[in-house]
Amino acid sequence: MQNKHQVHNLIILDESGSMDSIKSLIISGFNELVQSVKGIEEQFPDQKHLISMVSFNDFNNKILHFADPVNKLNVINDSTYNPASMTPLYDAMGFSISKLKQHLEGKDNYSVLVTILTDGEENASKEYTGLTIKNLVDELKQQKWTFTYIGTDHDVEIMAATMNIHNTMSFDKNVAGIKRMFIKESKSRVKYSLDISNEESTNDDFYATFDENELKK
């Protein structure tokens, strides 16, 4: 099929020190998520999925992928994901979103799904503020960008709302909670791609309510 609709999956992953206690669970969950994105592209042949993945702490923003096709995706492991230091969330979002926004300038026939995963609130940004991120989110939500925020160990809804992000999911910081979160996240991505194919809105109710039995499948 010519001129497939491009779906850019931008994943912004907290790599601060507080994530170390769940490091192995995050690695395995993200690697399963990569496989699920590959499956979604196969399920929706009218779409071409690309992934940009940035992990962050106050040492740097680490670009693990940038607009890469799903067949080139690499798993993350102990050498590529090493939680340490603090949480400059606004700087990581500003860097990642602005980089992809610039990449897409002049292009059309695309949608962007931004997923932020963190276990703590902003505490170390130097370049971006909450207001500048909110303004950026407001601007891009009018241009087929959908923003989601997944978190634990803080008030997820309030933190996300300060940036005008209302697609949120909280998870328990244990094996069962993280497994359930990644299953729900993957199922929500399928619904997102279905909405794109049906030319329906993707901005609201991203994390639909799933039956508990559905999340165990």
Tens digits of residue pLDDT in 28-82? 998 888 889 999 999 999 999 999 999 999 999 999 999 999 988 888 999 999 9
pLDDT at residue 74, as a whole number: 84
pLDDT at residue 210, as a whole number: 62
Q: Which of 148-157, 173-182, 199-208 has the lowest mean pLDDT?
A: 199-208
Per-residue pLDDT tens digits for 90-114: 999 999 999 999 999 999 999 999 9
Average confidence score pLDDT of the chain: 92
Distance CA 214, CA 217 (A): 5
Residue ranges of alpha helices (H) inside the chain are 23-43, 89-104, 130-140, 156-161, 175-197, 212-215
The CATH number for 5-131+144-155+166-215, chosen from 3.40.50.10860, 3.40.50.620, 3.40.50.410, 3.10.290.10, is 3.40.50.410
Domain boundaries, the chain: 5-131+144-155+166-215
With a pLDDT cut of 90, the percent of the chain lying above it is 84
- pTM, two decimals, is 0.95
How confident is the model over 211-215, as a mean pLDDT? Answer: 58
Contact 47, 4 (CB under 8 A): yes
pLDDT at residue 217, as a whole number: 53
Distance CA 208, CA 214 (A): 12
pLDDT at residue 25, as a whole number: 94
pLDDT at residue 211, as a whole number: 58
205 versus 23: the higher-pLDDT residue is 23
pLDDT at residue 162, as a whole number: 95
Query: Burial level of 169, CB count in 10 A (0-12/13-18/19+)?
Result: buried
User: Does 215 have pLDDT greater than 80?
Assistant: no
Choose from 29-38, 120-129, 196-205 the range with maximum mean pLDDT. Answer: 120-129
pLDDT at residue 212, as a whole number: 55
